Amino acid sequence: MSYSNTIREQFLIELIESGFYDDAFNHLRFCFSENSIDYYFYLGFLQAQLGQTEEAMATLQKCKSIVRGTDLESTVSGLLADIYDNENWISDAIEEINHAVDIEPDCPLIQRKQEEIFEKFHFYFLIMIKNYFQFITQLIREK
């Protein structure tokens, strides 16, 4: 990577960290080849931040297939888990975060996300049980 690419990449990261996702999205093509892992990862991340959820999931799935077997696979799975969690696709979020934990069990960020997802699952499960018992109670009363 040349010195100018390093500066471009650092500028991209500064745009992202500052929350300027539209600008970062427009700057992305100047930083990486469109077939690089970094391009797909940042593209998926930015698509998610810009509300392009379906596109982000597709981009990150493609990125995940490229990084399979590398250290980056846990990072991509963790990001996918976060997106699925935000969309309330709990079973998909659990699958991805568990995959990330399997690859990188000592990562505090991944562990924290797993705890968040499991807490949300537990909450939804309790609501489902409560609704089920209310439904059964109502059926019994109607008879």
Residue range 104-116, pLDDT digits in tens: 999 999 999 999 9
pLDDT, tens digit (0-9, with 9 covering 90-100), for 70-106: 888 999 999 999 999 999 998 999 999 999 999 999 9
* End residue of a domain, out of 17, 47, 65: 65
Same domain, 77 and 45: no
* End residue of a domain, out of 65, 85, 111: 65
Residue with tokens 């059926």: 139
Give the pair of three-digit tokens for residue 36: 């690089």
Same domain, 59 and 74: no
pTM, two decimal places:
0.77
For the chain, how many structural domains are there in total? Answer: 2
Share of the chain above pLDDT 70, in %: 97
The parent domain of residue 138 ranges over 69-143
Same domain, 30 and 15: yes
